[in-house]
Amino acid sequence: MVIAISVQKLDHYFGQGQLRRQVLFELKLAINTGEIVIMTGPSGSGKTTLLTLVGGLRSVQSGSLQVLGQEFRGATPQQLTQARKHHGYIFQAHNLHGSLTALQNVKMGLELHRELAPAEMKARSIAMLEQVGLGEHINYYPDALSGGQKQRVAIARALVNRPKLVLADEPTAALDRKSGRDVVNLMQALAKEQGCTILLVTHDNRILDVADRIIHMEDGILGYCQLNQKLESSY
Ligand code: ADP
Ligand code: MG
């Protein structure tokens, strides 16, 4: 099986001088193509930091991080921007633009794909909104949508470019039980259909069953855990 994400001896630090503090410690992780991996762990343990590194949203300082076959350590900002074309990123808060309609927000997901004609962008975005059950709401502004609907727009925006990799940071945190469930089911179905790899951070125990594998971050150290099994360190 082809490895989608490979992490070796990855450290990360925040701050300068005396304030410099290590937040990730010698992480080691391999995720296969098509795998759905959930990362759990307490607040402040380093989950978002790892996700943003994998997403090419911050630079790798030490160790190795390969994403979709590309080494991110030493990559230029241009190379990272290029790499992000293959990613769909779903944030905890939906991060929609309030001044744009659902359709315009989803089209933003195609902004790195300048080769597409405007009509094609529009058609793809509408089809994606229909797939997430928002075909009737394409011209609504975020304020007129519920929390679950907004998060579904954010998912449509992340998936509209048919990414090879989906990174989701607590995508259900702001949702009620039913909307949260709907959102992960949707992500799972779309991922399986498009054959993409998913790395999802969550505190939400109710959605763990969508994962092929669960990993656990604690104080910047990654461990592996199975449901109902004791946490086991990776070393
Ligand atoms: P999690 O997502 O698991 O809650 P984070 O990755 O956001 O954890 O944070 C890990 C640690 O790094 C925390 O102690 C946090 O305060 C710190 N941190 C996160 N982002 C920054 C930043 N931009 N500058 C300085 N410290 C940060
Ligand atoms: Mg976080």
Angstrom distance (rounded) from CA 88 to CA 160: 8
Q: What is the dihedral of CA 93, 95, 101, 107, to 10 degrees?
A: -120
Query: Closest by alpha carbon to 73, among 135, 11, 162, 139?
Result: 11
Tell me the whole-structure pTM to 2 decimals: 0.89
The CA-atom distances, in angstroms, between 42 and each of 166, 206, 222 are: 22, 16, 12
The bound ligand whose nearest atom lies closest to the alpha carbon of 25 is: 1
The dihedrals phi and psi of 92, each to the nearest 5 degrees, come to -60, -55
Q: Is the CB of 18 under 6 A from ligand 1?
A: no
Q: Calculate the average pLDDT of the chain.
A: 90
Domain 34-55+85-225 classification at class level: alpha beta
Q: Is the CB of 202 under 6 A from ligand 1?
A: no
Condensed to tens digits (0 to 9), the pLDDT of residues 130-173 reads 988 899 999 999 999 998 899 899 999 998 988 999 999 998 88
Q: Which of 12, 13, 20, 49 gets mutated to test ligand 1 (max ligand atoms within 8 A of its CB)?
A: 49
- β-partners of residue 225 are 214
Condensed to tens digits (0 to 9), the pLDDT of residues 99-116 reads 999 999 999 989 877 788
> What type of residue is 214?
I
Query: Closest by alpha carbon to 57, among 88, 96, 93?
Result: 88
Domain ranges of the chain: 34-55+85-225
Angstrom distance (rounded) from CA 12 to CA 25: 7
Angstrom distance (rounded) from CA 234 to CA 28: 8
